[in-house]
Structure 1
Amino acid sequence: MRKPADRAQVEAELQRVVELRHPEPHSVLGVHPDGDGMVVRAYRPEAVSIHVLPEFGGKVPMVHRTGGVFEARINGRTEPFGYLLEVEYPGKKVFTLRDPYSFLPTLGELDLYFAGEGRHERLWERMGAHLIHHNGVKGTSFAVWAPTASGVSVVGDFNGWDGRLHGMRRMGSSGIWELFVPEVGEGTRYKFEIRPGHGGGRLLKSDPFAFRTETPPATASVVHDLARYAWGDTAWLEAREKQPDAVHQPWSVYEVHLGSWRRVVEDGDRPMTYRELAPELARYVKELGFTHVELLPVAEHPYGGSWGYQVGGYYAPTSRFGHPDDFRYLVDYLHQEGVGIIVDWVPGHFPRDSHALGDFDGTALYEHADPRKGAQPDWGTLVFNFGRNEVRNFLIANALFWLEEYHIDGLRVDAVASMLYLDYSRKHGEWIPNRWGGRENEEAIQFLRELNDTVRRKHPGVVVIAEESTAWPKVSQPTSEGGLGFHFKWNMGWMHDTLSYFGKDPIHRQYHHNQLTFGLLYAFSEHFMLPLSHDEVVHGKGSLYGRMPGDPWQKRANLRALFAWMWAHPGKKLLFMGGEFGQPGEWNHDKSLDWHLLGDPGHQGIKKLVSDLNRVYRDLPALYDADSEPVGFQWLQADASAANVLAFVRRSRTPGRHVVCVANLSPVPRENYRVGFPLQGRYVELLNSDAGEYGGSGLGNQGQVHTEPTGWDGQPSSAALTLPPLSVVWFTPG
């Protein structure tokens, strides 16, 4: 006969349950051996009475022990058994339910081990809320990391948000708390109620791994089944995996803020939903010829004015535009239409909202405790502690989550510079040097390398892009060669210099000629993407169109020249929405783009040019396949500053294939302007940004030129060209 449990010890354990500070309530509640029988205990503090309904039949009354804990002894049973609880509340309200404390853990030892090591690459499949069948019973398993908490409960619609009813068990030294709650299903709202180990009340936290959330400003997490969406983009994914290195492919990216691209004015000026956006965005992007769409962050964020850059729910697409499966539909639709999708990803910092990651278990868990490392002064946010295994695992698993569960083709990593430098935006005395006394954040560097190596290993064809604004070396070089391992880096220097030049009155441009030539000194040091992004049309900077000098005709001509210059320049392309038709006003995230402007021939002409730029760009490898190699570029005229003229050759990795680009960035047309060409014979005027169909003057070279055997610009042949004002002209042998 087994020895009955020590009554004093049991009383002490029950008191810990009642006080909500027991780390393993399953060791007290549920069914347990007791002498020659079994004892069943349940904690229902408001109950009038409870009966046990064993699976072998009968109805056994439970006796109230203390503070809402009830107990029943079942004699003659030596093994655990299944049962239901019949609970009566005041007013003769009776509910029959399964006891969550009658189930074994849903997490295994390997899950806990790899999570602790920071090497659980599919962590989202174990943490958070999951609809499962457990011992033949439908319900939801919950798991959350809160290592210093004295107690954790899951609360939600299913228990009246009462933290006393579903206390979770701590899984050993892992710091992970777990509970299976029977009969909790899809769409149920929930949070975690965390009791800090140091005391001080209770914290009500959203699930860091929630797959779905309430629509802000509401902050509850929502149970969601990830497995139910039926994808239709298998052909796209298979082709993506087999495609050659992205560095040698055409990448032309249309950057979009979902909430303001196109709004539904007829329905109260609301944003379009994911499903409404899918056909409209796909059609428009295909018409313009972009290869990819890049979305400003789609992960759930509490404040819409952050444009998504202050993330509260890293594993949930924002509910502002619909259900998670609706976002999948958008991705799926774009893929089936031949358009890739990149999302902005923000692993550098997170907001201080009380429901989110900050001080998650009452301590600095995801962030550094010392504000000299854990606070980001520019944005008022908190900085991830990249030196902690569990935090690195949370973020790397999150990157894989978007690639695997949402079929995303690329991640653009935001604010990489803020991660690399310990003194980023900090004054002397406001930061802590590394172990060598330097300013480099060694933990963040290691995290970024691990991230990029993991993505490359698991998802060939997917790219990771760095928004990095400094001269940090080898950002886009392999980690095996001492690099950070990104596929591409945004060329912020090119963006700044180019916009500065084009924003000047042409009469002054001759004194700033080097702003267009300087970038070629470092153009092949990284795999660059040229960004004219959302950051260039906010905070008083005005729109791209508005930054161009001159009257409306000259503004449009300058903008067309800027785009034609950009598309010919080495580097992949990125353009923020609205720029493609010359929106005059600065971007407002609460308003739709000015689509009515497409009724104006001048703005329609800019759009037509962008479409043609993309078409020609994709058709001619000389414009993209040697972007990062010196062989892909050669100056013809780099120093004609007095004339505001620049000319160069773009060459393909395939010998002989090339494009000659000539820019006249003065408002004066230039007749008989001689430029060197690599070959003698006929060249087709492939594109002219001043063509009449784009709203220009129509001046040009009648579609072609014939070069002469007159050496010029270091070339064996040359031609006397007509260069339209404020224009860029492309030629190719034909």
Structure 2
Amino acid sequence: MHATLSGAERARLLAGEHHDPHALLGAHPAPGGTLVRVLRPLARRVAVRGTELTPEGDGLFSAILPPEQAGDRCPVVTWSDGSRSRGHDPYRFLPALGDVDLHLLAEGRHERLWEALGARPMTHQGVAGTRFTVWAPNARGVRVVGDFNGWDGTGFPMRSLGSTGVWELFVPGVAAGTRYKYDICRADGTHALHADPLALAAECPPATASVVHHSTYEWGDAEWMARRAERPPHAAPMSVYELHLPSWRPGLGYRQLAEELPPYIRDLGFTHVELMPPAEHPFGGSWGYQITGYYAPTARLGPPDDFKYLVDALHRAGIGVLMDWVPAHFPKDEWALIRFDGTPCYEHPDPRRAEHPDWGTLEFDYGRPEVRNFLVANAVFWCEEYHIDGLRVDAVASMLYLDYSRAEGQWTPNADGGRENWDAVAFLQEMNATVYRRCPGVVTVAEESTAWDGVTRATDHGGLGFGFKWNMGWMHDSLTYMSKEPVHRGWHHGDMTFSMVYAYSENYLLPISHDEVVHGKRALVSKMPGDWWQQRANLRAYLAFMWSHPGKQLLFMGQEFAQGAEWSETDGPQWWVLDPTYAAAGDHAGVQRLVRHLNTRYRATPALWERDTEPSGFSWVEADAATDNVLAFLRFAANGTPLLAVSNFSPVVRHAYRLGVPPVAKRWREALNTDATEYGGSGITTPTPVRTTPTPSHGHPTSLPLTLPPLTTVWLRPTT
């Protein structure tokens, strides 16, 4: 005879509310030998080393084994259907999480959090299985459910690891590919199933289970990874092609995209791609911006190692990979992060701080160390595990301001009485500092639309620490100008020159992103005034102006060949307009050819990128010709070699248009002319090389008399 469980302990264990199931289950010293107790719901009989255990009811079986039966105690279970199984008992194992991990978790400083939390296949105490660990600090109990237990967690309660809020269980025999969730007993005694916040893989939506994952991928980009930090990105060429992977070529998975995307990007000459959020998200219409699986690439396009294959293929083609990262908010799907342990866990406890007013989502509690750790480690995760070269951080402005999109009375000031969210500021500083310290060559980019001071200033100087900031002001102003009929542009001339007033206050990237070609905003070419010829001419001139303006460039897919329709995540780019059988295919191919030449000539012209962040790398030649719709400026390489960029945003030819240039050469040659016939233009040009004359102009002792084609940007460089 031996003692059975007390009523209270038994009830807590069976209800999934016990904080230490290992104290009740498994093997424990007892008078006369070792008490062995197992919990096997639906079992008919259980035996250990030939000794049949006594049923205690509700799936509990126990017996005291004499000392001579010490050793391997793998229960042999006879199930209710008569089948038998034998396996290691989860409750015979010591914790599979070390003291250092627990210390870092408690401090909120575990920079490789995905190695401590989540489902990790491993060999523990000589047995193969999977360690499950999850942070749920206010749960009364946690159980793991999945394919391995018929989605009934009664027999798989997890233990609490002290004050860390972490629950752990090593389950023998569970391997990669197993689906699972956590059954969390909340403070009120109710239960909820949640996907694993640290899952490395997930089921393909609309299914919502997490998947045990173990990567076997062998990278082939060692040369890329070793060299990517050789030159600071601010002093290097960077032109970015933004795309939505599921719709770039609808129906293709990661492996198929790896065959088609790198050669296309390489042919166009872009230095980087930017992937709209690749992390798992339940609603495809969110384009990935409402994430539930922060540590899992979306399963829509294949398993995680296939995503690695795609990144690897891009690197081997010499193309950097940026990804959109979304720490600003998360969706309210009840099986995901919301009230994860029955209380506000990842979200802020104050409903006014938690609710995001624009998107029907929740904001993270950036002041909670464990939440900040979850996000900082996630940034590191993508860079270290998936070799991502840069993170474009979405919606930074919504994080920085407590009153963002909130009316009076809907927000509370900070401790200083202001509107700044200092918790979010501290988080962004920690994220940037950590990424730059751990991941040489990685760059972070902020989508920040306000005048917050120091977005790209170093954290040790009080800045947020980003590498670049999206220049939303330039985007808005320049598109406003371009949308006007040329006869009206003179009244909006300042929209094209104002960006240079603040151009060196931050390190900027010029974005024509997906946000500008959806929701009734029209495709880029369709924003332009005039007939089809004028629209394309305006677009070509605008793109060349953009490529020559200080700052890096970003262009969204489909705009490189002037598709006329807004982007749709279901249809993707209008590739058919390039089909030779389409009447206007040549028009679209001409714009595509221009983008290719913009990139190749940009990369070959250090004046356009070497001194992007230095005021001395830029000089206006003509900034005030509002009635002419003309802009002209010089860009300078580190060795002083200039490039002259001239834009004529009027539909008339301007003959003998004199522009002053420095006396560095007697002749200048066209490097690019967007009116060239190969791009779909009229072919008007200044015969080159054009000789300088000693006529002073625009503050220079010499000048060039140029013919400016209509709706055209021309680049010229000195020649011998």
TM-score bracket for this pair, using the shorter chain length: over 0.9
Q: What SS does the corresponding residue of 1:423 show, helix, strand or coil? A: coil
Instruction: State the SS of the aligned residue for 1:660.
Output: strand
- Cα distance, 1:666 vs. partner? 0.2
Alignment correspondent of 2:86: 96
Task: State the distance in 2 between where 1:300 and 1:127 align.
Answer: 18
Deviation for aligned residue 1:8: 7.6
Given the alignment of the two structures, is residue 106 of structure 1 paired with residue 96 of structure 2, yes or no? yes
Rounded to whole Å, the distance in 2 between the matches of 1:574 and 1:432 is: 37
Alignment partner of 1:720 is 2:710:
no
Does 2:645 match 1:661? yes
Amino acid at match of 1:295: L
State the distance in 2 between where 1:32 and 1:77 align. Answer: 15
TM-score by length of 1: 0.96
Once residues 162 and 716 of structure 1 are traced to their aligned partners in structure 2, the CA distance between those partners, rounded to angstroms, is 85
AA aligned opposite 2:529: P
Superposition map of 1:229-308 within 5 A: 229-241=217-229, 243-263=230-250, 271-308=251-288
Q: Is 1:65 aligned to 2:85, yes or no?
A: no
Aligned twin of 1:187:
177
Q: TM-score, normalised by structure 2?
A: 0.98
Deviation at 1:36, TM superposition (A): 3.2
Query: What is the CA distance between 1:136 and its match in structure 2?
Result: 1.2
Corresponding letter in the other structure for 2:645: C
Correspondent of 2:16 among 20, 31, 39: 20
Report the 3-state secondary structure (helix = DSSP H, G, I; strand = E; otherwise coil) of the residue aligned with 1:344.
Answer: strand
Residue of structure 1 equivalent to 2:692: 707
| Aligned residue pair count | 713
Quote the offset at 1:77 in angstroms: 5.6
Specify which of 155, 163, 167 is matched with residue 165 of structure 1: 155
How far apart are the structure 1 equivalents of 2:108 and 2:61? 41
The residue type paired with residue 233 of structure 1 is D
Match of 1:152 among 117, 137, 142: 142
Q: Per-residue deviation at 1:109?
A: 1.7
Structure 2 distance, partners of 1:81, 1:508, is 90
Note the C-alpha offset of 1:348: 0.8
Aligned to 2:453: 473
Shift of 1:18: 2.1
Dislocated runs of 4+, deviation >6 Å: none
Aligned to 2:203: 214
* 1:668 Cα offset (Å): 0.4
CA contact (8 A) 1:36 1:77 kept: no
The Cα of 1:595 is off from its aligned counterpart by 1.1
Alpha-carbon displacement from aligned partner over 1:538-583 (angstroms, at most 9, x marks no partner): 1100100111111110000000001000000000000000110001
User: Please, which of 589, 602, 606 is the counterpart of residue 604 of structure 1?
Assistant: 589
- Deviation string 1:37-56 (CA, Å, 9 cap, x unpaired) is 10100011322111013xxx
- 1:481-536 deviation line (CA, Å, top 9, x unaligned): 11110000000000000011011111100110000001100001000000000000
Q: Please identify, of 449-458 and 486-495, the stretch whose mean Cα deviation from structure 2 is larger.
A: 449-458
Output the CA distance in 2 between the equivalents of 1:32 and 1:81: 13
Aligned-partner residue type, residue 481 of structure 1 = H
Pairwise CA distance, 1:629: 1.2
Distance in 2 of aligned mates of 1:316 and 1:8: 44
The alpha-carbon deviation at position 97 of structure 1 amounts to 2.0
Q: Check whether the contact 2:655–2:708 (CA below 8 A) recurs between aligned residues.
A: yes
1:41 aligns with 2:24: no
Q: In 2, are the aligned partners of 1:82 and 1:102 still within 8 Å (CA)? A: no
Structure 2: distance between partners of 1:357 and 1:335: 33
> For 1:415-445, what per-residue CA distance to the aligned partner results, in whole angstroms no more than 9, with x for missing partners?
0000000000000111111000100000000
Paired letter, 2:623: A
For residues 68 and 437 of structure 1, what CA distance do their matches in structure 2 show?
58
Q: What is the rounded CA distance, in whole Å, between the counterparts of 1:67 and 1:596 in structure 2?
A: 64
1:370 and 2:350 matched: yes
CA distance in 1, matches of 2:6, 2:65: 17
Report the Cα distance in structure 2 between the residues aligned to 1:730 and 1:514, rounded to whole angstroms: 22
Structure 1 match to 2:378: 398
8 A contact 2:458–2:464 mirrored in 1: yes
- Where 2:413 maps in the other structure, the secondary structure is coil
Give 1:120's aligned residue: 110
Matched, 1:205 2:194: yes
Give the match for residue 75 of structure 1: 66
- Aligned-pair identity (%): 55
Partner of 2:165: 175
Contact kept, 8 Å, 1:671 with 1:722, in 2: the verdict is yes
3-state secondary structure, aligned to 2:519: coil
Report deviation, 1:66.
3.7
Residue matched to 1:616: 601
Residue 683 (structure 2) aligns with: 698
Give, as a single letter, the amino acid of the residue that structure 1 aligns with 2:128. K
Q: CA deviation at 1:248?
A: 0.6
AA paired with 2:656? N
Q: Is the 8 A contact 2:277 2:323 kept in 1?
A: yes
Corresponding residue of 2:338:
358
Contact 2:4 2:56 in 1 (8 A): no
Name the Cα RMSD after superposition: 1.3
Distance 1:73 1:14 in 2: 18
Residue 457 (str. 1) matches residue 453 (str. 2) = no
1:16 and 1:51 map into 2 onto residues whose CA distance is 25
Paired position in structure 1 for 2:662: 678
How far off is 1:260 after superposition? 1.2
Question: Is it true that 1:555 corresponds to 2:535 in the alignment?
Answer: yes
Corresponding residue SS for 1:164: helix
Output one character per residue of 1:98-143: Cα deviation in whole Å (capped at 9) or x when no partner.
Answer: 1111111111121111111111101101110011011111111100
State the alpha-carbon separation in 1 of the partners of residues 124 and 165 from structure 2.
23
1:394-421 deviations in whole A, cap 9, x for unaligned? 0011111100110000000000000000
**Correspondence for 1:268:** none
**1:539 maps to what in 2?**
519
- Whole-Å separation in 1 of the counterparts to 2:81 and 2:605: 78
Q: How far is the alpha carbon of 1:10 from its aligned partner?
A: 4.9
Q: Is the 8 A contact 1:14 1:66 kept in 2?
A: no
- Distance in 1 separating the partners of 2:689 and 2:596: 21
2:81 and 2:614 map into 1 onto residues whose CA distance is: 80
Shift in CA distance, 10/37, structure 1 to aligned 2, threshold 3 Å: farther
* Cα distance in 1 for residues equivalent to 2:209 and 2:16: 22
Where 1:733 maps in the other structure, the secondary structure is strand
Kept in 2: contact 1:140–1:180 (CA 8 A):
yes
Deviation at 1:86, TM superposition (A): 1.1
CA deviation map 1:69-94 (0-9, x unaligned): 1101112269x743211111223222
Structure 2 match to 1:29: 25
Matches of 2:67 and 2:662, distance apart in 1? 98
Q: Deviation of residue 20 (structure 1)?
A: 2.0
Q: Are the aligned partners of 1:38 and 1:77 in contact in 2 as well (CA < 8 Å)?
A: no
Q: Kindly state the Cα deviation for residue 653 of structure 1 after the two structures are TM-superposed.
A: 2.3
Distance 2:298 2:108 in 1: 27
- Structure 2 segments unaligned to the other structure (5+ residues): none
Rounded Cα–Cα distance in structure 1 between residues aligned with 2:650 and 2:430:
48
C-alpha contact (below 8 Å) 1:18/1:68 kept by paired residues: no
Residue 126 of structure 2 corresponds to which residue in structure 1? 136
Measured after TM superposition, the shift of residue 35 of structure 1 is 1.6
Return the alpha-carbon distance in structure 2 between the equivalents of residues 713 and 184 of structure 1. Answer: 75
Determine the structure 2 residue equivalent to 1:267. none
What does the per-residue CA deviation read over 1:649-682, in whole Å, with 9 as the maximum and x for residues that have no partner?
A: 0112222x11001111000011111111112401
2:671 counterpart SS class: strand
Contact 1:631 1:653 in 2 (8 A): no
State the match for 1:56 in structure 2. none
Name the aligned partner's letter for residue 244 of structure 2: H
2:632 aligns to what?
647
Q: Distance in 2 between matches of 1:449 and 1:262?
A: 37
Aligned equivalents of 1:538, 1:19: Cα separation in 2: 50
